[in-house]
Amino acid sequence: MITKSVKIFVVSLTALAWLISNNLLAQSPDDLMKSANKFYQDGNYQLAVESYQKILGQGFESGALYYNLGNAYFKTGKLGYAIFSYEKGLKIDPNDEDLSYNLKIANSRTVDKITELPKLFLVSWWDGLVTSLNVSGWSFIVIIIFWILLASIAVYFFSRRAILQRISFLSSSTSLALLIIAVVLLVARVNREAATNYGILLEQTYPVKVSPDSKSNDAFVIHEGIKFAIEDHVNDWTKIRLIDGKVGWIQKNVFGQI
């Protein structure tokens, strides 16, 4: 028979556990980041990963967060997850040198060394220009140039001095040309992100299938950290394409979509 004192003790213990769990859930992203960084500095990399993931679970994302998460995964030996984190960070901040550098180091540790199909110089140059900024970056450029264009037009119509009108006319013409180019680049960037998705294999080794069926023949084998384009979906299967042109099918639960 459970005594009254035991019941009180159980209720108190339950209440205490509830308060502790709620306090942990109520941690702000800043508090979680400080805790995660402390775990990382102390060598508790798995706890650091869990804390960084909690921040993502609260809906917060940044290049710095994915950088730290990737470093923690790298220290735990999860190369695929590390590369996936760096890639996610670069999608947010494509010009982050630390992310790019660590991604190169992580990619150098991958098993698969695949040579990309050669591209024409103009195609490579255009791809580099389009991907030099993300959608937010190109949007910001468009807005700035648009306001410069409006200011130049205002000066042209309201100024009574000929020299200012000539300068504003030249500025307006240049701004209009740059605005058109920036809008084209913005549209290209948006279309690129909408049309092409990429994934990173998280499993250590995985046999890619010829068709979306576990009983089909193996097309080739890939290893953790390899990046591929996502082309199609059939139930729980995803069609992928490697940079060397190889095509096959893998299950959805073995990779992370960037």
Interatomic CA distance for residues 199 and 218, integer angstroms = 19
pTM reported for the whole predicted model: 0.68
pLDDT tens-digit readout, 134-162: 888 899 999 999 999 999 999 988 888 88
Confidence class for position 78, pLDDT limits 50, 70, 90: very high
Interatomic CA distance for residues 62 and 90, integer angstroms = 9
Interatomic CA distance for residues 236 and 234, integer angstroms = 6
C-alpha angle 140-145-146 in degrees, rounded to nearest 5: 95
Sheet bearing 237-241, strands edge to edge? 218-223, 205-209, 247-251, 237-241, 227-234, 197-201, 255-257
Contact 197, 142 (CB under 8 A): no
pLDDT tens-digit readout, 79-122: 999 999 999 999 888 889 999 999 999 999 999 888 766 667 78
Per-residue confidence (pLDDT) for residue 151, from 0 to 100: 93
CA dihedral 210, 216, 218, 222 (to 10 degrees): 70
Amino acid, single-letter form, for residue 81: Y
Contact 56, 85 (CB under 8 A): no
Residues found in the chain: 258
Alpha helix (H) ranges present in the chain?
4-25, 29-41, 45-57, 63-75, 79-92, 97-108, 121-130, 135-158, 162-195
Residue 203 token pair: 């499993």
Per-residue confidence (pLDDT) for residue 80, from 0 to 100: 96
Interatomic CA distance for residues 229 and 160, integer angstroms = 57
Task: Indicate the range of 39-53, 181-195, 227-241 predicted with least confidence.
Answer: 181-195
Q: Is 113 helix (H, G, I), strand (E, B) or coil?
A: coil
- Interacting residues of 49 by C-beta distance below 8 A, sequence separation 6+: 69, 72, 73, 76
